[in-house]
């Protein structure tokens, strides 16, 4: 086995989301890979991204990636489906070669699509996501490449992120919108047997989602899938693995109020954290 020499060129793994949703990914990554250092960045001041245009999501995501690189990250995970759908490919193909071809940015859509083949029996897949993710067609495109026989149905759920961001995921008002979007999805095809929660905020609504999901349908959450995929990536790329610092720490950054972020994030993470305010440009 080749022992990589990183010459102390190490830094934390960056995890980025428009707001709090990526914390559902971060917590699973840290459970599986506790040895690494992480920086979590939430662009809460400009969230939600779901209804924003392609150009704006790309611009905001690129600013976040550059900030995480400037903070020392060699590897950044876009823990946001909307950013993965609208910005990842351009950043990988056009920006990274200019910024630093040895750094990497990875998304959440591809690893999620990879597991679907081992779950579905009917080959009919439902995707619940933000308007931006669904409109981008990223899921049907990736699913079509990997599983040409599958049929994909996308359902935008524009009220779900605001419900989560406003801490209303347990509230009775959430039931109306949870039921509404699930019913709309299954009115497209009752044989859908696998539904992807294609937005990192949605696991907070999981209990309500399961109340209204037809029996026998498998609901796919992304956290553990993305964590497994990162572990496998680092095993296959020792030249990157040795550039990930190993102190077991995590720094939290937000573009909004650090007090608000810390208070909300502690609900997502079930632990108390402190947060640094930063500005993106």
* Window 258-277: residues binding ligand DGL (CB under 6 A): none
Helix then strand then coil, % of the chain, to nearest 5: 50, 15, 35
Q: What is the rounded end-to-end Cα distance, in angstroms, of the chain? A: 42
Of 130 and 245, the one with the shorter C-beta distance to ligand DGL is: 130
Query: Residue 99 Cβ, how far from ligand DGL at the closest point, in Å?
Result: 23
Using CB under 6 A as the binding rule, whether residue 221 contacts ligand DGL is answered as: no
DSSP annotation string for 85-107 = HHTHHHIIIIIHHHH-TT-EEE-
Burial class (CB in 10 A: 0-12, 13-18, 19+), 261: buried
Stretch of 44-52, 87-95, 118-126, 204-212 contacting ligand DGL, by CB under 6 A: 44-52
When asked if residue 200 is in the footprint of ligand DGL (CB under 6 A), the reply is: yes
Pick between residue 68 and residue 242 the one whose CB is nearest to ligand DGL.
68
Under rule CB under 6 A, residue 199 binds ligand DGL: yes
Residue 138 contacts ligand DGL per CB under 6 A: no
Q: Does 140 bind ligand DGL (CB under 6 A)?
A: no
| Parallel, antiparallel or unpaired: strands 104-106 and 75-78 | parallel
- Write down the residue that tokens 């308007």 correspond to: 131
Site for ligand DGL (CB under 6 A): which residue of 33, 62, 80, 109? 80
Contacts of 129 (CB under 8 A, 6+ apart): 50, 81, 82, 139, 154, 155, 156, 157, 196, 198, 199
Q: Which of 49, 69, 150, 268 is in the footprint of ligand DGL by CB under 6 A? A: 49
Helix (H, G, I), strand (E, B) or coil at 245: coil
Helices (H) and strands (E) in the chain, counts: 14, 10
Smaller CB distance to ligand DGL: residue 18 or 275?
18
Residues touching ligand DGL, count (CB under 6 A):
17
Q: Per CB under 6 A, does 127 bind ligand DGL?
A: no
Instruction: Give the residue numbers annotated as catalytic, written as ranges.
Output: 80, 199
Is there a contact between 175 and 208 (Cβ–Cβ < 8 Å)? Answer: yes
The residues that touch ligand DGL, with contacts defined as CB under 6 A, are 17-19, 21, 47-50, 80-82, 130, 133, 161, 199-201
């Amino acid at each position: 086995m080749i022992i990589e020499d990183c010459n102390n060129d190490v830094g934390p793994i960056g995890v980025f989301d428009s707001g709090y949703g990526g914390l559902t990914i971060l917590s699973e990554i840290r459970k599986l890979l506790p040895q690494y250092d992480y920086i979590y960045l939430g662009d809460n001041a400009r969230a939600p991204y779901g209804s924003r245009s392609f150009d704006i999501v790309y611009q905001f995501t690129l600013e976040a990636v550059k900030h995480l690189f400037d903070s020392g990250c060699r590897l950044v995970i876009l823990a946001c489906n909307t950013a993965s759908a609208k910005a990842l490919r351009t950043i990988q193909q056009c920006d990274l070669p200019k910024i630093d071809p040895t750094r990497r940015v990875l998304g959440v859509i591809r690893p999620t699509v990879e597991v679907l083949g081992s779950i579905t029996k009917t080959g009919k897949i439902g995707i619940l996501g933000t308007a931006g993710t669904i409109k981008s067609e990223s899921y049907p495109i990736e699913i079509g490449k990997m599983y040409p026989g599958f049929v994909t149905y996308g359902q935008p759920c524009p009220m779900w992120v605001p419900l989560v961001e406003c801490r209303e995921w347990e509230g009775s008002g959430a039931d109306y919108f949870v039921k509404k979007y699930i019913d709309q999805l299954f009115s497209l095809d009752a044989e859908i047997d696998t539904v992807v929660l294609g937005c990192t905020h949605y696991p907070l609504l999981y209990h309500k989602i399961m109340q209204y999901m037809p029996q026998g349908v498998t609901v796919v959450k992304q956290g553990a899938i993305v964590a497994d995929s990162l572990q496998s990536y680092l095993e296959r790329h020792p030249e990157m693995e040795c550039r990930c610092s190993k102190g077991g720490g995590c720094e939290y950054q937000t573009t909004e109020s650090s007090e608000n972020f810390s208070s909300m994030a502690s609900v997502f993470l079930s632990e108390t954290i402190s947060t640094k305010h930063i500005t993106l440009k």
